[in-house]
Structure 1
Amino acid sequence: MRVRFYYDVVCPYSYLETHAVEAAEDAGGIEVEWLPFELRPAPRPLLQPRGDHLRTDWTQHVYRRALERGIEIHLPRYQPRSTLPLAACLWAGEVGALRVFKHALYEAFFCEGEDIATDREIARAAERSGLDPDLAVAAAYDADRIRWIAAVREEAERAGVAGVPTLLLDDGRTHWGTGGVARLQSGEPLVPRA
């Protein structure tokens, strides 16, 4: 079964669901097209790192779900735009290293508390992934890749994708949030974003 999986490297739910999607992919249960979906492209306002929304969501939902899955995660100190890291992810996908590069970004952001929208962290993620750090930083600023991120978002929104993580099936069904792969594999109904 082919699915499109929309993710953002600054979204904790994308980080959590990525593990389930990768496990299903590795088991041969699904074929995944990984698509970057920038949650807050400019000029949309960013969340406040110490704002009530994040603290409440993390306390009531993120930490519980991470504990259930045995995944280390911490409320980030930063809330950067994800344009540059996502553009670098596109490049990593082109060279066959998206998974390892994406995880290096996720771990730097959610486990180490680093600002992954900086040249230094993009380069460090590349080094951790066995990739050329200078090429990763250059890819992050590539205008064609940045335009492609915007185009992916526009296409996704036309298909009914309004946030991440989201699964989109060939038949147009979507699942927003965590648990989509488990529902898909068990035959349960998917839950589109209301």
Structure 2
Amino acid sequence: MARQPTLEFWFEFASTYSYLAAMRIEGLAEAAGVGVRWRPFLLGPIFASQGWTSSPFNLYPAKGRHMWRDMAREAARLGLPPVQRPPDFPQNSLAAARAAAFGADQPWIGAFTRAVYEAQFARGESIAEPGSVAALLNRLGLDGPAIVKAATSEPHKSRLRVVGEEAKSRGIFGAPTFLTEDGELFWGNDRLEQALAWATGERPPGLR
């Protein structure tokens, strides 16, 4: 039996387009026969290294206005609830990212990731507080407070810093990013299908 290929899904909870990718990656990957490796990380340090103090959607207002309209169109096209802008954008995603990094290899990581995104972009809720993250975990039948506490203890607390350095070393500059096993990088929700095809061995004609 052939080994199942794997696609790394690098996502940031404050990222709007990571939301769209997170809501559909498992179904598409299963249909393609590809496993998903969930890789939560923080974009803030990467943006800071480029001299950005906020999301480019805030730094460039015209780009931001287009993004929110584009998100509304894409959510409607994918059958998702209307996009709700959270009270602050981008939100502080540290607590959620720590919990996701702690559970990245657990069977609940997909459901938790979707729950955080739905709270933020489908209901417009804050995900910044550890209590909010714990409540989302509780709704999944997990011990939210215990997971949040464990995620902020050493050595788990430093895991995000290590993952962030890995992201930089592998050339990741935004989210969502998809990395195949041979190191091919695909950036953006609209490249998910191409990333899955590449992971299964498909190549565009004339490209190796």
TM category, shorter: 0.7 to 0.9
Cα displacement string for residues 27-84 of structure 1 (whole angstroms, at most 9, x for unaligned residues): 352111110121124994344998835334212x221222221112222212322121
> Could you tell me the TM-score, scaled by structure 1's length?
0.84
User: Which residue matches 1:36?
Assistant: 40
Mark the CA change 1:82 to 1:144 in structure 2 (over 3 Å): closer, same or farther: farther
Distance in 1 (alpha carbons) for counterparts of 2:114 and 2:164: 22
Match of 1:19 among 23, 30, 41: 23
Match of 1:64 among 63, 66, 73: 73
Give the gaps of 5 or more residues in structure 1.
Answer: 190-194
Cα displacement string for residues 95-145 of structure 1 (whole angstroms, at most 9, x for unaligned residues): 421111112211111122221120221111111111112113213423433
Q: Which has the larger radius of gyration?
A: 2
Q: Is the 8 A contact 1:13 1:177 kept in 2?
A: yes
Aligned residues: 188
Distance in 1 (alpha carbons) for counterparts of 2:56 and 2:7: 33
User: Which residue matches 1:153?
Assistant: 164
> Could you tell me the TM-score, scaled by structure 2's length?
0.79
Mark the CA change 1:93 to 1:43 in structure 2 (over 3 Å): closer, same or farther: closer
User: The residue matched to 1:27 in structure 2 has which SS?
Assistant: helix
Mark the CA change 1:43 to 1:16 in structure 2 (over 3 Å): closer, same or farther: closer
Mark the CA change 1:184 to 1:49 in structure 2 (over 3 Å): closer, same or farther: closer
Alignment of 1:10-159 (within 5 A): 10-27=14-31, 29-41=33-45, 44=48, 45-47=53-55, 52=61, 54-59=64-69, 61-72=70-81, 73-78=83-88, 79-159=90-170
Q: Which amino acid aligns with 2:123?
A: E
Match of 2:9 among 5, 9, 17: 5
1:11 to partner: Cα distance: 1.1
Mark the CA change 1:49 to 1:164 in structure 2 (over 3 Å): closer, same or farther: closer
Distance in 1 (alpha carbons) for counterparts of 2:153 and 2:66: 36
RMSD (CA atoms): 2.6
Q: Highest relative contact order (Cα 8 Å, sep 6+), 1 or 2?
A: 2
Percent identity over the alignment is: 29
Distance in 2 (alpha carbons) for counterparts of 1:170 and 1:160: 15
